[in-house]
């Protein structure tokens, strides 16, 4: 169809935002190589910028781009073939393969891309970097900023991850049904790691980074659309319910606000409703796991009209079920805090002291912060001061450090 030059250029930009990751995923399947597919993607869009203003925007832009990218890749292989005979064979193979069904499984291609980027054979930090780069289209500089790393470090992780995929011949496919539970866990872990870095940054001056929360939720929605599994529902629900409270976690000066002190009218009720609905669906499936249970706990908090009306007994029960699925000292710590709210600070302190005596959470600032708060509530002020000082030595995030210092100062000399 015909189209003016300016509107055709705008159409290319619109199609890039909406379709580039889908086109890339299909090109990776067709060309069998990340770098070759990325080069083909850029060549295809460059061709679109030249041809669409002249010839008009095609009826199926995605199909046009995939076909153009594939042909550009074959041409590039032929040009390089005089230096490497194997590339001529590869070009002939790609040209000879039937590609009428290039777009038939485009959504499967996106799922393949996610599972490949999150393959357990890759180091955890490489999985995160590769997923944000290839699935979310974040630049190396954006990823580096988000994780307080040098762009060169992130670029190296991505290059090594691609080399590992190529050298280890990691298959570009969705796992078979019997493999899916183990492989899906790796994907969910990567998405939640991205979200947690946005929701509760591991270091730095800011408590939250909204852009990473947004990207993780976008990944969660995409995964649920492609794979409607109970734990995918659970993870998306968990992120939505946490994100609903994000803006209330800090005051106007950027200082940390505790859950019980947050302005609940500032919580996003639309996200809470969506998250709670997903929790109910996940739990009703009877195939739920840790993410759905964590989401159920956050839902109890989110649906309570006030901190005083929180159903702590239900929260403790949910933590008991969560621990039955697998031991976790951090979950035990959270359960201890819930027990303290249900049965009193002495009961919670007994559990926290037992945890610290085991040594697993000795270097975790929140375990000492929780202990300090319980000692404060028991009016054991000298011990509370000591516990706050230990927590302050371990904390890395500046707003949390200021919060703990404030709590210590409130106890006086």
| Per-residue pLDDT at 23 exceeds 60 | yes
Please write the tens of the pLDDT for every residue from 38-67: 999 999 999 999 999 988 889 999 999 998
Compute φ and ψ for 203, nearest 5 degrees: -160, 165
| Per-residue pLDDT at 77 exceeds 90 | no
**pTM given for the model:** 0.77
Please write the tens of the pLDDT for every residue from 242-286: 999 988 988 888 788 989 999 999 999 999 999 999 999 999 998
| Per-residue pLDDT at 200 exceeds 80 | no
C-alpha torsion sign, points 136, 142, 146, 148: positive
**Weakest-pLDDT range from 1-15, 47-61, 65-79:** 1-15
Mean pLDDT throughout 236-246?
95
| Per-residue pLDDT at 332 exceeds 60 | yes
Contact 42, 81 (CB under 8 A): no
The full DSSP string for 7-40 is HHHHHHHHHHHHHHHHHHHHHHHHHS-HHHHHHH
Reported confidence tier of residue 330, pLDDT bands at 50, 70, 90: very high
Contact 313, 338 (CB under 8 A): no
Contact 408, 388 (CB under 8 A): yes
| Per-residue pLDDT at 94 exceeds 60 | no
Strand partners of residue 397:
204
**Count of Cβ atoms closer than 10 Å to residue 117 Cβ:** 27
Please write the tens of the pLDDT for every residue from 215-230: 889 889 989 988 899 9
Please write the tens of the pLDDT for every residue from 117-138: 999 899 988 998 999 888 888 8
Cβ burial of 9 (10 Å; 0-12, 13-18, 19+) is: middle
If phi over 0 gives left and psi between -120 and 50 gives alpha, with beta otherwise, what is residue 344? left
């Amino acid at each position: 169809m015909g189209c003016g030059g300016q509107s055709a250029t705008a159409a290319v930009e619109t199609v890039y935002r909406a379709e580039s990751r889908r086109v890339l995923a299909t090109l990776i399947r067709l060309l069998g190589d990340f770098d070759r597919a990325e080069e083909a993607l850029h060549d295809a869009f460059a061709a679109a910028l030249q041809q669409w203003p002249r010839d008009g925007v095609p009826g199926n832009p995605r199909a046009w781009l995939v076909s153009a990218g594939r042909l550009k890749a074959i041409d590039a292989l032929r040009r390089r073939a005089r230096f490497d005979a194997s590339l001529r064979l590869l070009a002939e193979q790609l040209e000879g393969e039937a590609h009428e069904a290039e777009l038939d499984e485009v959504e499967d291609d996106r799922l393949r891309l996610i599972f490949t980027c999150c393959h357990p054979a890759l180091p955890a930090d490489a999985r995160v970097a590769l997923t944000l780069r290839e699935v979310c289209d974040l630049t190396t500089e954006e990823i580096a900023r988000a994780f307080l790393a040098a762009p060169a470090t992130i670029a190296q992780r991505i290059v090594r991850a691609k080399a590992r995929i190529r050298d280890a011949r990691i298959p570009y496919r969705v796992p078979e049904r019997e493999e899916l539970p183990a492989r899906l866990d790796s994907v969910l872990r990567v998405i939640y790691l991205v979200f947690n870095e946005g929701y509760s940054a591991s270091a730095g001056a800011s408590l939250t980074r909204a852009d990473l929360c947004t990207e993780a939720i976008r990944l969660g929605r995409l995964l649920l659309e492609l794979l409607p599994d109970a734990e995918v529902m659970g993870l998306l629900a968990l992120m939505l319910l946490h994100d609903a409270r994000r803006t209330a976690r800090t005051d106007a000066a950027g200082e940390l606000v505790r859950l019980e002190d947050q302005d609940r009218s500032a919580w996003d009720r639309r996200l809470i409703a969506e998250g709670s609905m997903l929790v109910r669906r996940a739990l009703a499936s009877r195939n739920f796991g840790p993410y759905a249970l964590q989401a159920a706990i956050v839902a109890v908090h989110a649906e309570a009209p006030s901190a005083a009306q929180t159903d702590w007994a239900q929260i403790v029960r949910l933590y008991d079920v969560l621990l039955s699925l697998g031991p976790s000292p951090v979950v035990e710590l959270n359960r201890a805090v819930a027990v303290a709210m249900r049965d009193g600070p002495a009961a919670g302190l007994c559990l926290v002291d037992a945890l610290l005596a085991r040594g697993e959470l000795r270097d975790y600032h929140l375990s000492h912060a929780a202990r300090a708060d319980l000692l404060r509530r028991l009016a054991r002020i000298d011990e509370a001061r000591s516990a706050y000082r230990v927590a302050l030595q371990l904390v890395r995030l500046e707003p949390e450090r200021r919060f703990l210092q404030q709590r210590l100062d409130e106890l006086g000399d």
